Amino acid sequence: MCGILAAHGLEKPASDRAHFIALSKRLRHRGPDWSGCYVGQQSVLVHERLAIVGVESGAQPLVSEDGKVILAVNGEIYNHIALRESVGPDVKFKTHSDCEVIIPLYRKHDTDLCNMLDGMFSFVLLDESVSPPRIIAARDPIGITTLYQGWSSKRPGATFFASELKSLVDDCDKIVSFPPGHFYDSKTDSTTRYFKPSWWNGDLDGPEATIPSNPADLKLIRETLEAAVRKRLMSEVPYGVLLSGGLDSSLIASIAARETEKVAQAQIEARKKRAQEFRSGPASPNPNSGLVDEEATLASWPQLHSFSIGLENSPDLLAARKAAAFLGTVHHEYVFTVQEGLDALPEVIYHLETYDVTTVRASTPMYLLSRKIKAMGVKMVLSGEGSDEILGVGYLYFHAAPDARSFHQECVKRVKNLHTADCLRANKSTMAWGLEARVPFLDKSFLEVAMNVDPKEKEFSKGSAQEFDEDGCPRMEKYILRKAFDCSPDGKPYLPRSILWRQKEQFSDGVGYSWIDGMKQHAEDTVSDEAFAKAAEQWPEDTPQTKEAYLIREIFDGHFPTKAAADTAVRWIPRGDWGCAADPSGRSVSIHNAAYDGEADE
């Protein structure tokens, strides 16, 4: 991923070049490898590059052969090779970048190109061949990448886009988080949703709601997730997996380890084949020679590295060790202290650009870990975000859903809002250090399968009375995912049972319960009773309800003091109408303690 900044509808863009380059420097942590700038008739596009694919030739902004279409992209397009083939042999590509294919797709399909992309992306495309020049901006279906849009009363008619809020706050007095699955078109000055999956209306009331009734196809769930991991191994640089020892990250690591092993075996056969071809004479040229896919990646980086973080002897560290030993990864473990986390809070909030308590809690250890990973020379990691929302039970409060319909409605709502919380955390915590996080659970094909499962099959045992299936497996949260991988088609288990059937931890809990307790105590020591009593006077809208929330909001305002900035933040609060505690920590849910009371070591 990278950082992009664009402004369109400017009167004198050439005179603004230095100004926008300076604003784009605030994004350089996202793209430390190179910078580029294009000035058009009414526009300026600036790009900060993190080189993952097409390292030697993919500098941006990308410019078409005739110089009329200019493109700045933050993201990865996993199906770029197939898309290159689809545009026909007459199209000449200038780079090996996975993103360049967007230009001929635009010329052939206009804005319909958005639905053709399989990946995570935010892009701004400028067409200078029309009058007035046209700009199109788009964001991936779920919002894995970040994108903001802004307007300035001092520059009426101008529109601004940036990967992060910090590049827009000085110029814009109105800013919105650009909606995922949408594109903006300056020709109509409108924003349109292009992502319309079959499950999208599942959170609605009334006859228009789509509540699925499909039985869980465990084989399809398993194979679709395996394919999602495989395609995300496309890279020209060292990569790894974030491993908390929980179900989601451990499954991703297991699949990645299996793919690595498969390719190692395939390489032996490939060498034999190349030797035979060499003896038979020169082969015909391959038009896709030099392009990077997942197989080429695994051949270049055959060792899978895993990374975990936690307080000393935290649940995540202990479980990650067990998973890594089973999978045979090269494992790296980092221990942090509560004080180190507290010291990093101002930086974390600056990069997150939100004051949501849950996001800040979980992002701090991820931010610290990302720095360690980048220091090792790794530039891309796989991560397990999205499973909690897709399966509807990762957040333990789902056990309180009154019925299956309500369960599914909340599930869809959480997936739609991932860009305000978990996706934001995964993107900004890692990109603060120029580390790219890829999330297989948010693959479009996997979403289509998992979101269309009958919610009755996603529900799990309520209270302390555990239920078991015919194989003796507990019907706990994420049962269908666990069951899908509780098999060994090749005779080798995906995970040890103690990991596969481990109780869910919120990430901020799993790194060590003392982390959240330490944050709360720090807030108690820092925020006076007098100041907290006046919270509503200082913030009449979205008033902090705890001293911890007060402290986080105060730090946020120190970085971003404008109302335009505060309006982009979204706080997540558990379902009070389901009888859930206001504290978002998983420990506040009674089922968590009930499950651990009866858990035995394996």
Which residue type occupies 326?
Answer: F
**CA gap 72, 275 in Å, rounded:** 41
User: Residue 21 half-sphere exposure, CB side, CA atoms within 13 Å?
Assistant: 12
Determine the Cα–Cα distance for residues 452 and 455; give it in Å rounded to an integer. Answer: 8
> What CA–CA distance (Å, rounded) separates 238 from 254?
18
Active site residue 2: yes
What are the φ and ψ backbone dihedral angles of 325, each rounded to 5 degrees?
-65, -40
Tokens of 267: 């390489």
Sign of CA dihedral 499, 500, 501, 504: positive
Q: Has 383 been labeled as part of a binding site? A: yes
CB distance 176 to 146 below 8 Å: no
- SS3 category, 471: coil
Strands in 387-492 per DSSP E: 436-438
Q: Are 178 and 148 a contacting pair, CB within 8 Å?
A: yes
Strands in 436-438's sheet, in edge-to-edge order, are 330-335, 305-310, 239-242, 380-382, 436-438
Q: Which of 385, 373, 382, 386 is nearest to 434 (CA)?
A: 373
The answer on whether 598 is annotated among ligand-binding residues is no
Judged on CB neighbours under 10 Å (0-12, 13-18, 19+), 25 is middle
* Residue 246, both tokens: 């929980």
Q: How far is CA 222 from CA 226, 381, 489, in A?
A: 6, 21, 11
9: its two tokens: 């509808």
Contact 98, 73 (CB under 8 A): no
Q: Which of 2, 172, 423, 580 is catalytic?
A: 2
CB half-sphere exposure, 140, CA atoms < 13 A:
27
Q: Which residues contact 524 (CB under 8 A, 6 or more apart)?
A: 547
CA distance 251 to 495: 7
Strands 182-185 and 190-193, by their bridges, are antiparallel
518 is in an annotated binding site: no
Query: Tokens for 547?
Result: 């001293």
Binding residues: 98, 242, 309, 383-384
Catalytic amino acids? 2
Residue stretches of the annotated binding site for L-glutamine:
98
